[in-house]
Structure 1
Amino acid sequence: RLFGMAFHVDYAVCVIVMAVLTGVYVIAGGYMATAINDFIQGIIMIFGICAVIAAVMQAEGGLSQALLRLAQVSDPAASPAPGAFTSFFGPDPLNLAGVVVLTSLGTWGMPQMVQKFYAIRSEKAIDKGTIISTVFAAIVAGGCYFLGGFGRLFSDQVDVAANGYDSIVPTMLEGLSTVLIAVVVILVLSASMSTLSSLVLASSSTLTLDFIKDTIVKDMDEKRQILTMRLLIMVFIAISVVLAIVQYRSNVTFIAQLMGVSWGALAGAFLAPFLYGLYWKKTTRGACWVNFLFSTVVMLANIFFGKYFPTLLQSPINAGAFCMLAGLIIVPVVSLVTPRLPQGQIDRIFACYDRKVVVSVKDSIGDHTNPKEETP
């Protein structure tokens, strides 16, 4: 909708252009190109969200005036209390918590996030990345939540019943200058391309290396592996384009609803097995399968029989958050009552933590209180 507002072109055209651009740099550059693009796109996101917030606040007469107007907005369906929209957690903290859990905790369980670590050069990069990514998330996510809180000021300008809640943000931005609208378009394009590139890279590499290689195609050399992955990247991008266009033209107009279904099923299935599998030796195969089935069944049931769910879980967003949190309980509980892996296999899996590496003193000073430690 933002692209349609800015360029007055059909949504399908915008999606196709974005997909083509993503395909070009992912197919041509692979993981490193994606990592570099993510870095550049991250910088754009930081400056973009700050500029948009400043412009919207200025258009509303400043933060104080915007808060004053927001305090005067009333919606009995959301909250009968006056000024509820100016409170820190808003009129509906439970649903807000569902969104936060889904979009924050959910990233731990996204399979495509694994490819983010392929470009890491050293442990120092991890330390820096932890700080940088935390600051980035605080600015971008915090800015989005902050800006979204003022969407109620524009609700009288939007026909939500006809156009859905997704039309509120484009309405907020219509009054901005051409330059700022361009910044917003680049901002959204960056976020969309980053997510799409991660998804197709993880999907194509996993399908090629873990399924096709040595299972369907024997003795698959590196050249054929790369060619297969590139072909699958194009296939997955095409599937994403079709899904996006179908979603836009169907009755599922709320983007977060669709994200709740996909993230709830994926992160709900993988979050707990990822977390416990890395750090807890008692995690069992049966517990992982139970968690997979639980999240998948719950989210599929929510799609087709959502009206029979408890009121709080009728929203796909809350149902997805519930699956993630439930998995953190299901995996350890089921692991305690199901057969463990053979001890030898467990030792081999966790042997990587005991692997010895040699580093220079500038990287690790060491423990000089240990009399057995060698000194240069």
Structure 2
Amino acid sequence: MKLLVLIIYFAVLIGIGLYCRRHATDVDGFVLGGRSVGPWLTAFAYGTSYFSAVIFVGYAGQFGWKYGLASTWIGIGNALIGSLLAWVILGRRTRIMTQHLDSATMPAFFGTRFDSPALKVGASVIIFIFLIPYTASLYNGLSRLFGMAFNIDYTVCIVLMAILTAIYVIAGGYMATAINDFIQGIIMLVGIVAVIAAVLASKGGFMEAVRGLAEITDETASPQPGVFASFFGPDPLNLLGVIILTSLGTWGLPQMVQKFYAIKDEAAIQKGTMISTLFALVVSGGCYFLGGFGRLFSEQIDIAADGYDAVIPTMLSNLSPLLIALVVILVLSASMSTLSSLVMASSSTLTIDFLKGTFMKKMNQKQQLMWIRAFIFVFIAISAIIAIIQYKSNVTFIAQLMGISWGALAGAFLAPFLYGLYWKRTSKAACWVSFIFGCVLMVANMLFRSSFPVLLQSPINCGALAMIAGLILVPIVSLFTPAPNQQLVEETFACYNKDTVVPQKTALGK
């Protein structure tokens, strides 16, 4: 039964990829779906790119174990800050300005907005370097669930997932990814609700599970009894760091922001905002809520030996075969949708912004498509190799890989992108300062972690600091460095002032 469900799922994904080839005949169609993607597809593409095996297995297991039911706040933050506010503050302006500047990627936006080819190349290099560890981390959580459900070797899991993702992304581009994301999102919504109900039922229901959690004590975490069933948990300060990184971080991640480039119209933004927020509330809130009960299974888990990545698979190991199949499809859906989004962002950036912007300036549409597809294959292969090496050498666990990647990318890009959309005075120098500070801070944290203050030894907290520091540094540096070309800025911001005729139900007439 489990294998049959899996085969049907794979067949549907590949079929959609082949069907969407007609939308992928030029760069705009392949990378952005022709900027004509509706609210449901855009919202689900945003949500499924946001949440992967990293969230479901890595973060939900680790932070559910550390903070108990208080970890649910992470999911709520993801919904309100990472989805709702991201759509409200970035969605419309990103769509308008990127179309006006004719930019299909985040580096292209920086290059045109600040009249700096060097910024464009620098941003593309940062994306290439720091998306790789995040991409590699997607495979790890999946491998544990496949091993639990099918006893399949980890290497086989990675190769299978890599090949299937490569087929439908290379064939159909963004539109294939968006349609598959919608199907995968439905599976994620149904799956997380079913899994939570089954796990709680196995512990006597919700109230009994909470009572059991309240009885658990851990002197190393907190001497306070009942802390794992409390409102803020044993460590509110570090919990806040996780909320900031995983929620505010989406504002600066190229694979997330790029979803706004492809929105069809105003109605799609309004509907997409609500759909995306509700999706995040159910999926992310549900994942962390489920993880919060992890300590009820402590007799089956050896954290010291197996790590936090073993928490969620252990919680699910006693479910029925049908539910385990659903869980495997759920996490496979989450991982493949995020993987496809990451490799699309990486390959399009490296082709359009790096190769075409520096070495091959006369590259035509056909050649660009060829290079983008080639890089998709290369990125998937590199990430798969890293994932296998990481697993066999036990370098680190999921949350650390993702924390480093998110911290560097969002720390580098969030502030320049946000201020670039809203503030005319934002300078080129301020962008460089944010780029360098975010990347250097996270690399230093990775290499010299023990030298950092205790609170910042966590890559999660360090990434949160990188983002907040960028929001402070960019305006300060902008005020003390040469202003951008006034004519260029006025021409750029003129796109917001164009008259648009709308129905009276949207805006009252005179």
Q: What TM-score, normalized to structure 1? A: 0.94
More displaced stretch, 132-141 vs 208-217: 208-217
Structure 1 counterpart of 2:358, from 215, 224, 227: 215
CA deviation string 1:230-270 (max 9, x = no partner): 00110111111122222222333421111101100011111
Aligned-residue offset at 1:118 = 4.3
Aligned-residue offset at 1:91 = 0.9
Asked if the contact 1:31–1:119 (Cα under 8 Å) also holds between the matched residues in 2, the reply is: no
Aligned-residue offset at 1:155 = 2.1
**Which residue matches 2:509?**
368
* 1:190 has 2:333 as partner: yes
* 1:37 has 2:180 as partner: yes
Aligned-residue offset at 1:150 = 0.6
Where 2:273 maps in the other structure, the secondary structure is: helix
Change (3 A) 1:252 1:93: farther
**Which residue matches 1:251?**
394
Change (3 A) 1:202 1:281: same
CA deviation string 1:66-100 (max 9, x = no partner): 11111111111100111000012211112211221
CA distance in 1, matches of 2:411, 2:393: 26
CA deviation string 1:276-308 (max 9, x = no partner): 111111111111111111111111111111111
**Which residue matches 1:5?**
148
CA distance in 2, matches of 1:248, 1:105: 29
CA deviation string 1:133-185 (max 9, x = no partner): 00001111111111111111112211211211101111100110111111111
* 1:329 has 2:452 as partner: no
Asked if the contact 2:250–2:257 (Cα under 8 Å) also holds between the matched residues in 1, the reply is: no
* 1:352 has 2:495 as partner: yes
**Which residue matches 1:82?**
225
Letter in 2 for 1:190: S
Change (3 A) 1:21 1:251: same
**Which residue matches 1:112?**
255
Matches within 5 A, 1:1-376: 1-213=144-356, 215-357=358-500, 359=501, 361=503, 366-369=507-510
CA distance in 2, matches of 1:17, 1:54: 30
CA deviation string 1:39-65 (max 9, x = no partner): 111111111110110000000000111
CA deviation string 1:93-127 (max 9, x = no partner): 12211221111111111011233234422110111
Superposition misfits of 4+ residues, deviation over 6 angstroms: none
Q: What TM-score, normalized to structure 2? A: 0.70
Letter in 1 for 2:444: A
Asked if the contact 1:53–1:147 (Cα under 8 Å) also holds between the matched residues in 2, the reply is: yes
**Which residue matches 1:373?**
none
Asked if the contact 2:252–2:417 (Cα under 8 Å) also holds between the matched residues in 1, the reply is: yes
Would you tell me which structure has more helix in proportion to its own residues?
2
Return 5+ residue gaps in structure 2 as ranges: 1-143
Letter in 2 for 1:213: K
Letter in 1 for 2:301: V
CA distance in 1, matches of 2:357, 2:286: 47
Letter in 1 for 2:509: H
Letter in 1 for 2:181: D
CA distance in 2, matches of 1:189, 1:226: 27
Asked if the contact 1:35–1:119 (Cα under 8 Å) also holds between the matched residues in 2, the reply is: no
Work out which structure has the larger RCO, using CA pairs closer than 8 Å and 6 or more positions apart in sequence.
2
CA deviation string 1:329-372 (max 9, x = no partner): 11112111111101011112212212344x4647x765422xxx
Asked if the contact 2:192–2:287 (Cα under 8 Å) also holds between the matched residues in 1, the reply is: yes
Q: Which has the larger radius of gyration?
A: 1
**Which residue matches 2:84?**
none
CA distance in 1, matches of 2:164, 2:249: 27
CA distance in 1, matches of 2:396, 2:445: 17
Aligned-residue offset at 1:223 = 1.2
Aligned-residue offset at 1:132 = 0.1
CA distance in 2, matches of 1:352, 1:181: 50
Letter in 2 for 1:204: S
CA distance in 2, matches of 1:28, 1:115: 20
Change (3 A) 1:278 1:223: same
Letter in 1 for 2:218: D
Where 1:213 maps in the other structure, the secondary structure is: helix
CA distance in 1, matches of 2:481, 2:298: 53
RMSD: 1.5
Change (3 A) 1:360 1:305: closer
Question: In the comparison of the two structures, how many residue pairs are matched?
Answer: 367
CA distance in 2, matches of 1:67, 1:361: 51
Asked if the contact 2:251–2:257 (Cα under 8 Å) also holds between the matched residues in 1, the reply is: no
Where 2:433 maps in the other structure, the secondary structure is: helix
More displaced stretch, 22-31 vs 202-211: 202-211
